[in-house]
């Protein structure tokens, strides 16, 4: 699988261009719920991550902030040797859905070379993104379609999936 870096703007254009086709494909997939879907997606996920280095990208860290759970916040504060209350005051705000997110965007812990300063203690959402190795992938088909606008790996996995089912 050949994956090349694309900016979020390029990925958005590509996702828009293929939107009708992808919608039809996902509709078919939701109806069929193929038993092998997880196995196939997970194989594509591993192939993609063998091929592509997230350090050449960081689109997710640059454009979509993770949702933060209390445990994430406590772990990050500890990593930075800060009191949780001070960490929250400096870095966290609540969004319109009542979820905790980083105040600043791009992520305050992203370095110019795309390394994450808090990598070992990064939030759960960062660990799990872009979810292409998740069980019961059919539950996140629409989310994955949305993620095609940000992540070159999801975009390519989606195209490859179309050839497999």
116 binds ligand SF4 (CB under 6 A): yes
Choose, by CB under 6 A, the member of 45, 77, 148, 152 that binds ligand SF4.
Answer: 152
101 binds ligand SF4 (CB under 6 A): no
Cβ-based nearer residue to ligand SF4, 30 or 89: 89
**How many other CB atoms are found less than 10 A from the CB of residue 158?**
23
Sign of the torsion formed by the C-alpha atoms of 163, 143, 75 and 108? positive
Choose, by CB under 6 A, the member of 26, 41, 58, 158 that binds ligand SF4.
Answer: 58
DSSP annotation of 103 reads: S
61 binds ligand SF4 (CB under 6 A): yes
Binding mask 128-147 for ligand SF4 (x = CB under 6 A): -xx-----------------
Angle, CA 75 vertex, CA 72 and CA 80 arms, to 5°: 125
Choose, by CB under 6 A, the member of 54, 82, 92, 140 that binds ligand SF4.
Answer: 54
Closest CA to 127 of 56, 83, 80, 76: 76
Choose, by CB under 6 A, the member of 26, 41, 107, 158 that binds ligand SF4.
Answer: 107
Give the N- to C-terminal CA distance of the chain in Å, as an integer: 17
157 binds ligand SF4 (CB under 6 A): no
The H-assigned helical ranges of the chain are 8-17, 19-32, 37-51, 59-63, 70-79, 84-91, 124-128, 141-147, 152-164
Q: Which residues bind ligand SF4 (CB under 6 A)?
A: 54, 57-61, 66, 107, 109-110, 116, 118, 122-123, 126, 129-130, 150-153
């Amino acid at each position: 699988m050949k994956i090349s870096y694309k900016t979020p703007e390029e990925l958005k254009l590509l996702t828009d261009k293929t939107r009708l086709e992808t919608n039809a494909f996902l509709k078919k997939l939701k109806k069929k719920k193929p038993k092998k879907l997880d196995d196939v997606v997970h194989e594509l996920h591993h192939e993609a991550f063998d091929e592509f280095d997230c350090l050449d990208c960081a689109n997710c860290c640059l454009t979509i902030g993770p949702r933060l759970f209390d445990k994430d916040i406590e772990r990050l504060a500890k990593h930075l040797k800060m009191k949780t209350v001070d960490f929250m005051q400096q870095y966290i705000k609540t969004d319109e859905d009542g979820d905790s997110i980083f105040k600043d965007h791009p992520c305050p812990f992203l370095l110019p070379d795309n390394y994450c300063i808090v990598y070992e203690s990064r939030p759960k959402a960062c660990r799990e993104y872009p979810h292409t190795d998740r069980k019961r992938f059919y539950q996140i088909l629409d989310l994955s379609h949305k993620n095609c606008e940000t992540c070159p790996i999801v975009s390519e996995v989606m195209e490859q999936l179309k050839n497999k089912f």
